[in-house]
Structure 1
Amino acid sequence: MADRTSPRASQVVPVTSPEQIRNVVLVGCSGVGKTTLAESLALAAGAVGKAGRVVDGTTVSDYEDIEHQQQRSVQLAVLPIDWNGVRVNLLDPPGHPDFDAELRAGLRAADAAVFVVSATDPVTAPTRALWREAAEVGVPRAIVVSKLDLARESFDDILTACHDAFGLGPDTLRAVYVPVFRDGSPSGSVDLLTGRGYGDVEAAPDTSAARESLVEAISGLDDTLMERYLAGEELDTEALFAGLRHEIVDCTLHPALAVTEAGFGTAELLDLITGSFPDPTRRVGPGPFADPDAPLTAQVIRITGDAYVGRINLVRVYAGTLRPDTRLQVLGADGANEDRITTLAGPFGKSTHPVPEAVAGDIVCVPKLASTHIRDTLADDPATTPMPAWPLPPALLPIGVEAHSKADEDKLSQALVRLTVEDPALRLEQNPHTHQLVLWCTGEAHAEVTLDRLRNRHGVHVDTVPYQVALRETFGASASGHGRLVKQSGGHGQYAICDLEVEPLPAGEGFEFAVRVVGGAVPKNFIPSVEKGVRTQLRAGVATGHPLVDVRVTLVDGKAHSVDSSDAAFQTAAALALKDAASHTEIRLLEPVAAVRVIVPDDYLGAVLSDLSARRAHVLGTETPEPGTALLRAEVPEIELARYPVDLRSLTHGTAEFARAHLRYEMMPQAVAAKLTGNGAAR
């Protein structure tokens, strides 16, 4: 793995105990500066030099060319940095909602989160949605206000806006560092607990009142500290930091500070992380205690394909110690499999460096494990209780694809299998009704990245085609049909005549076959052949190529020849009779209808209802699951939902949640059918 080694490998301090580790995920929307903050922290810690921070326009955490092209992250990156003798594993997931699976992986792998909000627009709807997601996981959170040098409001006003937008309780959000300004720009900050100044603090205002307020907030959440505080005792810094650590872990206090793209605030943030964030032994959430000597329990967080070493698994170790040249159990949805670790590597963005082992709490790269999937548990013992699998975002945007050439077709299946292993949010479907190959993605950006990976990582070119909804046909009214097959070409000929009556059935009744032949006009041994021919034609359809359903077909008459009649002849005659009946009546199209569930902020409810109305939706009603939010239930034709995830995100600025499930088939309106088929019905 030498060709992938990071230039900082020689600077890495070995980790020998969980207490040395802080696993921290950066959470925030696209554009707030998360990746810039990660790079600034790495620069401040000496993990990269100024010249190495950005190479050819690509940051050290970029994995793929498309990240540089789109100027946004599409994959979870890990940047380990060392500060004050502590290893900080920074997990930087994408901020775009299409890559929410990467965020969820980062939230589960981390022990705390740095929630980044932009000073220029701190409480957008997507930001509130991200806060709710992080809160549901229960991960301790600090708030970092980025772009403070561009702020239109004061730091205190920004924190007040965040407090109100996130629905936080009294004293829950507190500044622990107060920014100092010189000539309108941030020049330094003051640590409220220690009084220590960072940068230029000559113009620092009096912070005694702010410190007193913070001390009261910390003491008020700890009975012991409160007793000492009320007794008039001067609380020492060590006691206050212990109280702060306790409140952060319990999520009863969220510390806040500010940063700028120029690097202001990075040292303060690193001090906060290393001094007050929980180490793996104080992890909040499921999983065993972080004991390096315990039996191994680890979980696969991310899988990437590498042109040099193949599949690379990013693994979080929860208990035990992971070592090279050992066999382990892979516990997944399909049961237990045995695999072997050959080497271990420490991650640094897309680069790696060899490491001798990974203790409980650490995050490490394991190459060449062949049987793993993201969310699988790695253990010594197959009887180990697997780590919980976090939920994946629903893939609701269908993209029809076809191989561009025969050479691409030969490689497509294997490439898609690899992609779905590396990206569990991607769902692959070979539609049994339309026979279309469909990639179900979480959004347009996800689709674009998936197609780029097919092309550049796997060398497979595909063409995108419109998604086909599986329609059905049915008879609009009863009709009769005559099928005649009479051929003589020397030797045995082909002879079969069938007369059928076809009548529509209620929706969902399927197909019925009946016999009303008298006098043996069709011999009994050929009646199954008639039914088989009808069923074959039902699957092929009679007008638009869609399957024919909800009909009763009755065999009423026919003729046979003692020599020339056969099973094949009666199958053909039955199919001809069914098509002849279809030519004497109207063939109606049936379309699938989905049960749709949308959770949307009240601000956007009107726009969502109007949009659904334009999609021929039948709105069943709305509920209020929580203040300010509406739960909308509707029945919508699936043909109207192909682009709905994209349009809904645009309507609601990415704040709505959407789920769909197939409900039933219904008659398609004639006007819609006319647009679809060119004439509305086929003869």
Structure 2
Amino acid sequence: LSERCVAVQLPIGSEHELTGIVDVLHMCAYTSPDGGMEPPGKEAEPGPIPDDLAALVQEYREKLLDEVVQTDEALMERYLDGQELGLEEVAHALKDAVTRGLVFPVACGVATKNLGTHALLDLIVEGIPSPAKMGSITHIEGAETAAFVFKTIADPFAGRINLFRVLQGSVRPDQTLVDARTHAKERMGSLLFQQGKEHIPAEEFGPGDIGAVAKLKEVQTGDLLLDRETATDVPEIGFPEPVMSFAVTPLIKGEEEKVAGAIRRLAEEDPTLRLRRDQQTGEEILSGMSQMHVEVALERAKRRFGVDVELHPPRVPYLETIRKESRSHARYKKQTGGRGQFGDCTIVLEPIEGNVGYEFVDKIVGGVIPQSFRPAVDKGIQEAMHHGELAGAPVQGVRVLLVDGSYHNVDSSEMAFKIAGSMAFKEAYSKAEPVLLEPIMELEVTVPDEAVGAVNGDLNSRRGRLHGMEPAAGMTTINAEVPMSEVLTYAQSLTSLTGGRGDYSMHFLRYEEVPAHVAQKVIEVTKRERETAAAH
């Protein structure tokens, strides 16, 4: 937490043995006699602070006063002179500091034992500014009615339910509003109060009210609904990018569409969930903020929509390329009694700088291959590039020069030249020193200062390259480049190294050549998978 966070309450005990809390502001304690639940509607009464906590409470009381008096010079002078400060004076100074964003009070409580509720309410009244004095957080010029959609619920029966807060004006059933994002008109159906699982019909919502409406067409979380089209600039909700990805497959074969539909419904209410299809590996990839986040989402999908899903680590989308120039000649000739097949071509492969892209260059002179057959050679080569010889990964970063060939007036066809092109590419590719490429991710890790050494060591063990560190307020942000294959399960390791206080984000940067010893392992694994698939 920030250094400006100050404790105004302390727990008595910990975890399952927590029996009460101490209010540092009012210097009293709230305890449950038997450590159990208080009767409904009743809470523990304030009492004396336990003797064994007196020294600790006094220490935190001084920390609280040290932070609070810094915001009021007159109060600071009296405090430094050793004068006793009144409760109302401290509470007023605390509220002023919180209002100005100089201090952030930290409270504690136990909902299951009804402990701390009274103290928390005291803190809200005495130490936090009233929302009524703030007025509307946003005023939309040119519109009488404005409602902000802050949450979406995927209901298996009612469909999509949007929760909104009225910023100005009023919202009524059958009213037509305009979505500021899509500029589409949305007709409000029946308005609802959302109370747990119950939906209570409502006639109207006014400024500040929170309501719900079902079956809007295109409204998403973060949208602004207005009674008329007007230019507006409303701050967007900044959702973090998902960092943990898994391949998902249905337990029951044939339910792929049902699973995808259920996950997309959940993604409507949780924008940090992303479902996409990897074109290279053919897998459905579900991304979230952590493994637990994804598992909870899938448990929700099972409970609401009745779909069972298995999680697997996603396949790394490797690529292949070549290191040097090579040349090959291929002839496809087949005689079947009637019209035969004949295609003959010679090609040269060249690596493209940066290992990106594909180029086909026609260098044929004198018409040794008719113009109508040359695109077929290109097509055959591109199809052969879908699965390289090393690990079956797509090939890129190759320039192909069609330099020579021959044809037969009767037997030549597009199919024959397509097959010849594919054969020539495979032979030339094997002679061009093919190598494996892996995706490199740019990683930004934020960890407590004391964990920096352990995290840096872990990143080095993952073939990471550190690019710098930026310390700030007890936390350090580490910037590094790490191969994707090494960070598929990074979340668990980071949680272990930092005690759950670390966070990270990453995005794709570029492809780089895989070290020889790592490439050999990948190739062997791919070979075994091919053999297993062929056996089945």
TM-score range, shorter chain: 0.7 to 0.9
Q: Secondary structure at the match of 1:434?
A: coil
- Any idea what SS the aligned residue of 1:532 has? helix
Alignment of 1:30-49 (within 5 A): none
Shift of 1:284: 8.7
Q: Residues 370-519 of structure 1: matches in 2 within 5 Å? A: 370-383=217-230, 385=232, 387-517=234-364
CA displacement, residues 297-339 of structure 1 (integer Å, 9 cap, x when unaligned): 222222112244332222222222333332222233xx22222
Q: In the alignment, which residue of structure 2 is the partner of 1:297?
A: 146
Which of 157, 168, 175 pairs up with 1:319? Answer: 168
- Paired letter, 2:445: V
Specify the code of the residue in structure 2 equivalent to 1:640: E
Whole-angstrom distance in 1 between the partners of 2:493 and 2:116: 38
Any residues of structure 2 matched to 1:145-184 within 5 Å, and which? 145=9, 147-150=11-14, 175-180=24-29
Q: CA deviation at 1:215?
A: 10
Choose the corresponding residue for 1:539, options 379, 386, 400: 386
**1:348 counterpart = 2:164:** no
Q: 1:204 to 1:437 in 2, by over 3 A?
A: closer
Q: In 2, Cα distance between the equivalents of 1:211 and 1:664? A: 53
Deviations 1:534-578 (A, max 9, x none): 223223434432111223323333220011112222111111111
Counterpart amino acid of residue 605 in structure 1: V
Identify the residue that residue 438 of structure 2 maps to in structure 1.
591
For residue 678 of structure 1, give the secondary structure of its aligned residue in structure 2: helix
The one of 610, 616, 626 aligned to 2:472: 626
- What do the CA deviations read for 1:383-436 (whole angstroms, capped 9, x no partner)? 162532221122011111123445412323432321221110111222222222
Equivalence for 1:604: 451
Which residue pairs with 1:647 in the alignment?
Answer: 493
Moved more, 586-595 or 272-281: 272-281
8 A Cα contact 1:403 1:461, kept in partner: yes
2:200 alignment partner, SS class: strand
CA distance in structure 1 between the partners assigned to 2:31 and 2:362 by the alignment: 95
2:512 aligned partner, one-letter code: E
- SS in structure 2 of the partner of residue 336 of structure 1: coil
8 Å CA contact retained: 2:8, 2:24: no
> Which residue matches 2:132?
281
| Structure 2 Cα separation of the partners of residues 186 and 146 of structure 1 | 16
Matched-pair contact (CA < 8 Å) for 1:599–1:630: yes
Higher relative contact order (CA 8 A, sep 6+): 1
Q: Which amino acid aligns with 2:176?
A: R
Work out the CA distance in 2 between the residues paired with 1:250 and 1:329. Answer: 36
Shift of 1:510: 3.0
The AA in structure 2 aligned to 1:306 is: D
Contact 2:136 2:167 in 1 (8 A): no
Shift of 1:591: 1.2
Secondary structure of the residue aligned to 1:482 is strand
8 Å CA contact 1:317–1:361 kept in 2: the answer is yes
Amino acid at match of 1:487: K
Partner SS, residue 325 of structure 1:
coil
**In the superposition, relative to structure 1, how do residues 236 and 443 fare at CA in structure 2: closer, same or farther (>3 Å)?**
closer
- 1:372 Cα deviation (Å)? 1.6
- Match among 251, 255, 268 for residue 101 of structure 2: 251
Structure 2 Cα separation of the partners of residues 211 and 505 of structure 1: 68
| Alignment deviations for residues 564-615 of structure 1 (CA, whole Å, 9 cap, x no partner) | 1122221111111111223445432111222222232221111111111111
Structure 2 Cα separation of the partners of residues 445 and 353 of structure 1: 33
SS at match of 2:438: strand
Letter matched to residue 148 of structure 1: I
Contact map agreement 1:176 1:255 (CA 8 A) in 2: no
AA aligned to 2:12 is L
Counterpart AA for 2:511: Y
Does the 8 A contact of 1:314 with 1:366 survive in 2?
yes
Q: Which residue pairs with 1:564 in the alignment? A: 411
Runs of 5+ in structure 2 lacking a partner? 37-42, 80-84, 529-536
CA shift, 1:496, in A, is 0.6
Normalising by structure 1, we get a TM-score of: 0.64
Distance 2:248 2:435 in 1: 29
Seen in structure 2, the aligned counterparts of structure 1 residues 494 and 271 have a Cα distance that, compared at 3 Å, is same
* Matched AA of 2:345: C
For the structure 1 residues 450 and 268, does the alpha-carbon distance in structure 2 shift closer, same or farther, using more than 3 Å as the test? closer
Counting aligned pairs with the same residue, the percent is: 33
Q: Secondary structure at the match of 1:635?
A: strand
CA contact (8 A) 1:598 1:632 kept: yes
Where 1:433 maps in the other structure, the secondary structure is: coil
Q: Tell me how far apart the structure 2 counterparts of residues 349 and 544 of structure 1 sit (CA, whole Å).
A: 52
2:502 to 638, 656, 659: 656
Q: 1:353 to 1:484 in 2, by over 3 A?
A: same
Deviation, structure 1 residue 204: 10
Deviation at 1:476, TM superposition (A): 4.4
Change in CA separation of 1:653 and 1:319 when aligned onto 2, cut-off 3 Å: farther
Inter-CA distance 246–438: structure 2 relative to 1 (3 Å threshold): same
What SS class does the counterpart of residue 268 from structure 2 fall into? helix
**C-alpha separation between the residues in 2 aligned to 1:228 and 1:321?**
50
TM-aligned CA deviation for residue 503 of structure 1 = 3.7
In 2 relative to 1, CA 671–220 (structure 1 residues): closer, same or farther, beyond 3 Å? closer
Q: Name the SS of the counterpart of 2:167 in structure 1.
A: strand
2:513 paired with 1:667: yes
- CA deviations on 1:341-398 (whole Å, 9 max, x unpaired) are 2333333334443444333223223333332211111222231625322211220111
Partner of 2:532: none
3-state SS, counterpart of residue 255 of structure 2: helix
Q: Contact 2:326–2:350 (CA<8 Å) still a contact in 1?
A: yes
Q: 1:306 aligns with which of 155, 171, 177?
A: 155
SS in 2 for 1:270: helix
Cα deviations by residue, 1:622-653 (Å, 9 ceiling, x for unpaired) = 23342533332222112212122332233222
Residue equivalent to 1:84: none
SS of the counterpart of 2:488? coil
Q: Distance in 2 between matches of 1:263 and 1:604?
A: 36
Q: Paired residue for 1:269?
A: 120
Change beyond 3 A, Cα 1:629–1:553: same
* Code of the aligned partner of 2:393: H
Q: Take 1:211 and 1:463, find their aligned partners in 2: how far apart are those partners?
A: 52
How far is the alpha carbon of 1:463 from its aligned partner? 2.9
SS of the residue 2:445 aligns to: strand
Q: Which runs of 4+ in 1 moved over 6 A?
A: 181-187, 202-207, 210-220, 222-229, 235-243, 679-682
Deviation of the 1:151 alpha carbon: 9.1
Instruction: Tell me if structure 2 keeps the 8 A contact 1:408–1:462.
Output: no
CA contact (8 A) 2:343 2:406 kept: yes
Distance 1:274 1:296, change over 3 A: farther
Q: Distance in 1 between matches of 2:319 and 2:154?
A: 41
The 1-side partners of 2:438 and 2:103 are apart by 53
Q: CA RMSD of the aligned region, Å?
A: 4.4
Q: Which moved more, 1:264-273 or 1:493-502?
A: 264-273
Task: Sort the Cα spacing of 1:542 and 1:253 in 2 relative to 1 into closer, same or farther, 3 A.
Answer: closer
Instruction: Give 1:143 shift.
Output: 5.5
Name the CA shift for 1:145/1:317 in 2 (closer, same or farther; >3 Å): farther
Aligned partners of 2:478, 2:400: CA distance in 1, in Å?
Answer: 41
TM-score by length of 2: 0.80
Contact kept in structure 1, 2:440 and 2:510, CA below 8 Å: yes
